[in-house]
Amino acid sequence: MDLKNKTILVTGAGGFIGSQLVESLLAEGAYVRAFVRYNSRGDPGFLKLLPVELSQRLEVISGDLRDKSAIYDAARGCELVYHLGALISIPYSYRHPAEVAEVNFMGTLNVLMACRELGTARLVHTSTSEVYGTARRAPIDEEHPLQGQSPYSASKIGADKLAESFYCAYNLPVVTVRPFNTFGPRQSARAVIPTIITQALSGTTIHLGNVDTTRDFTYVDDTVRGFLLAGSTVGVEGGVFNLGTGTEIRIGDIAERIALKVGHKVEIMVEPQRLRPEKSEVFRLISDNRQARIKLGWEPQQVGLDEGLDKTIAWMRLHIDLYRPGKYEF
């Protein structure tokens, strides 16, 4: 599918990955409807950072994923839908599991129903590596058991299974992408790399949760390229694709690497309130990305870890006013 001149809906468009996907789609020549969660400030999130020259083909729509009619109206006339909208904070899901379940599960159901009723040519549904839980085998392929170790991961497992069911029951042309730990400019401090960087830029102490867990970090440009391929590659409907580098790094080690890049010594401290409940902690995530390589032609590490960290640190230096360094963000 050629994305040029296509009308495309992106939910979660004001967020970290969503805004950069919108920017890439516009650069490809698409017309984009950006669905963002309504707020009284009329704040479109990071879409306000997009180059002015791209905004002529952008329409911003405010609403709520739980509003079926809002989703239907936004999706009408769109040939391709990217569904990224979700409540993504794991600590928030411990406190508000009902809201997270409703937004992530019922919101996805509304998107699926709208696409089915409207005959959308393709839906790209966003999963997360958190659905795998702690690796039972490594690297983790798409056949790995799904484990709901937090209310957030359980809500995403449910959403993934809804997408699978609509493909099987209604032949809805849905493709699921499962990013591992994406990082880069515009990411909120709910994620570990911005948490480390903002604290390192602002002081000499970094407060973290479990520093012995390992994660597979992918720079946002690579993740967005995976989304583009999932929307345009012929014959991959019904597929699930891991987007990860296939390498892992300990959280404590990445904190030390960032501290060196920032240029001063820091003390890394474990803060009890940042620890997940024992049975909820995901100790190891590392992707097997062979399916994405073979079927999508996706190659990770167009931007490697060190270069990506340098880009992210530089961006956060310029935008440190957007963060509250040291405050635990739920």
SS3 266: coil
Q: What is the dihedral of CA 45, 46, 51, 57, to 10 degrees?
A: -50
Strands 181-183 and 240-243: unpaired
The closest alpha carbon to 193, from 182, 204, 203, belongs to: 182
Phi, psi of 183, deg, nearest 5: -145, 165
For tokens 């950069």, name the residue: 20
Determine contact, residues 116/166, Cβ cutoff 8 Å: yes
Determine contact, residues 257/193, Cβ cutoff 8 Å: no
Q: What six digits make up the tokens of 8?
A: 């495309």
Determine contact, residues 213/253, Cβ cutoff 8 Å: no
Question: For residue 139, is the peptide bond before it cis, meaning its omega torsion is within 30 degrees of 0?
Answer: yes
HSE, side-chain direction, 13 A CA sphere, residue 251: 25
For tokens 């960032």, name the residue: 258
Q: Is 132 a catalytic residue?
A: no
DSSP state of 104: I
H-type alpha helices, the chain: 16-27, 68-75, 90-95, 97-101, 107-118, 151-170, 192-202, 220-232, 251-262, 290-291, 305-318
For tokens 């190891």, name the residue: 284
Q: Out of 82, 132, 152, 219, pick the active-site residue.
A: 152
Cα gap 224→116, rounded to integer Å:
25
Catalytic residues: 152
